Amino acid sequence: MKIQAINGFKDILPETVGRWQFIEQQARDIFERFGFQEIRMPILEKTELFVRSIGEATDVVEKEMYTFVDKGITMRPEATASVMRAFIEHGLHVQQPVQRLYTIGPMFRHERPQKGRLRQFHQLDAEIIGASEPRIDAELIAMGKMLLDELGLNVSLELNSLGCPVCRPPFKERLVLFLEQRQEALCDDCKRRTRTNPLRVLDCKKPSCRAVVQEAPSLLEVLCPDCDRHFAEVRTALEELRIPFQINRFMVRGLDYYTRTTFEFLTANLGAQAAVGAGGRYDGLIEQLGGPPLSGIGFAMGLERLALLMEQQDNRSIPAKDMDIFVAALGTTTIAFAGQLTHALRQQGAKAAIDYSGRSLKAQLKQAGRINARFALIVGEDEWSKGEAILRDMQTQKQQPVALSGSTEELARRLLAMVRTTAAP
């Protein structure tokens, strides 16, 4: 019996990993332009951390977490809670009152696997802690948009405000009243959510529930003056940065800690998995986790969805991997020399390959072509005994003799210089 990977857990094969690396490099580059620093946290955290931050009555905590029940630990389902835990634990705000942090890594949720939905998936996550100005919200959103633009992805941006502990509770009560009068029309999940998490009913994807909430009261109309002003200023700041957006009063993020600004980057090209990235403000979270009363805002993007979209849109060419030089050793006597030379080439920084099999020249040149080597150094027994080898440009098929004089290091340097100057860019 062959052992296969677990359902919902996926290998990322060499042929696609180039796209992943490209996305990660673009992200690091852009995040650093905005002054972000990387942070890496463990995958396992105390279960309590996620229950207290994400919230007991959320889908993630209720049914999606991978928890070791006997040990009280959980494989992180998202990054924000862990970043906040680390931030508080190490008192990061003491060194630097405003922290801009990003992290890239795997997350785990027990969901039904589909295209763009896995049980181990990967997120790019960015957080700004300790700043509450609306322009910060706009700047963070603009950073996400910049990344999506540079990846060549066409996404729309939806924006909402979830209010704060002043204006949300009275709205919730009104919403519960509204929903209680329409229980018949709601799905089973939403019947339950009416009591446990009424806001979540607003973004249920079932058509029957959608029809009901069209008539529901809008939180945007009853925001407190502070939240209302904040939301207006975020919109203005986005307009100033020329970031197009749409207001979606039904958007409720699946995590309880959000306050005020929430947003999603959406695509029409991944079926039901429309959210490429999402985020929002979480002003009470750090205090709730035992830290200082600092505000924060962040987003997370799904790497699988970004990679799928890039593959579909195919409008951003990712440079193919190539090798500088392939050392073709012919006969048995040349192998030791060719091995030393290849090692020296690699020490000099060349991407060099070698075949120890002693196969025919034809077979070795074929291999050089397969790995996209730009040059092949052919070390034949006769030439080698005369202190010579042949450098072949794999593209033009032009060949030139190379004197094998001097130390291996000198030779490697000389070869590399030839390869670098002759190579077409």
CB 108 within 8 A of CB 114: no
- Of 58 and 334, CB closest to ligand ATP: 58
| Amino acid found at 353 | A
Q: In the complex, which residue's CB is closest to ligand ATP?
A: 302
User: Which of 275, 327, 354, 373 touches ligand ATP (CB under 6 A)?
Assistant: 275
Q: Which residues contact 292 (CB under 8 A, 6 or more apart)?
A: 88, 93, 286
Terminal Cα distance for the chain, rounded: 48
What's the chain's length in residues?
A: 425
Q: For ligand ATP, which stretch binds (CB under 6 A), given 118-126, 354-362, 372-380, 397-405?
A: 118-126
- Of 272 and 403, CB closest to ligand ATP: 272
- Of 109 and 392, CB closest to ligand ATP: 109
78 binds ligand ATP (CB under 6 A): yes
- Structure token digits, residue 142: 């603009």
Q: For ligand ATP, which stretch binds (CB under 6 A), given 33-41, 130-138, 270-278, 318-326?
A: 270-278
- Of 78 and 137, CB closest to ligand ATP: 78
Our CA angle for 323, 327, 328, nearest 5°, is 125
The secondary structure of 49-89 as a DSSP string is HHHHHH-TTSHIIIII-EEETTTTEEE-S-SHHHHHHHHHH
CB 229 within 8 A of CB 133: no
| Shortest distance (Å) from residue 283 CB to ligand ATP | 18
- Spatial distance between the Cα atoms of 402 and 422, rounded to a whole number of angstroms: 14
- Spatial distance between the Cα atoms of 243 and 230, rounded to a whole number of angstroms: 17
- Structure token digits, residue 254: 């699946």
197 binds ligand ATP (CB under 6 A): no
- Of 271 and 358, CB closest to ligand ATP: 271
| Shortest distance (Å) from residue 342 CB to ligand ATP | 41
304 binds ligand ATP (CB under 6 A): yes
- Spatial distance between the Cα atoms of 309 and 419, rounded to a whole number of angstroms: 36
234 binds ligand ATP (CB under 6 A): no
Q: For ligand ATP, which stretch binds (CB under 6 A), given 154-162, 209-217, 275-283, 400-408?
A: 275-283
Q: For ligand ATP, which stretch binds (CB under 6 A), given 112-120, 170-178, 192-200, 416-424?
A: 112-120
305 binds ligand ATP (CB under 6 A): yes
- Spatial distance between the Cα atoms of 176 and 171, rounded to a whole number of angstroms: 9
- Of 289 and 353, CB closest to ligand ATP: 289
| Shortest distance (Å) from residue 270 CB to ligand ATP | 9
CA distances from 3 to 7, 9, 11, 12 (A): 12, 13, 14, 17
| Shortest distance (Å) from residue 48 CB to ligand ATP | 19
| Shortest distance (Å) from residue 198 CB to ligand ATP | 18
| Shortest distance (Å) from residue 244 CB to ligand ATP | 19
- Of 9 and 337, CB closest to ligand ATP: 9
Q: For ligand ATP, which stretch binds (CB under 6 A), given 144-152, 239-247, 274-282, 332-340?
A: 274-282
The secondary structure of 318-350 as a DSSP string is PPPP-EEEEEEE-SSTTHHHHHHHHHHHHHTT-
Interacting residue ranges for ligand ATP, rule: CB under 6 A: 78, 109, 111, 116-118, 121, 123, 254, 273, 275-278, 300-302, 304-305
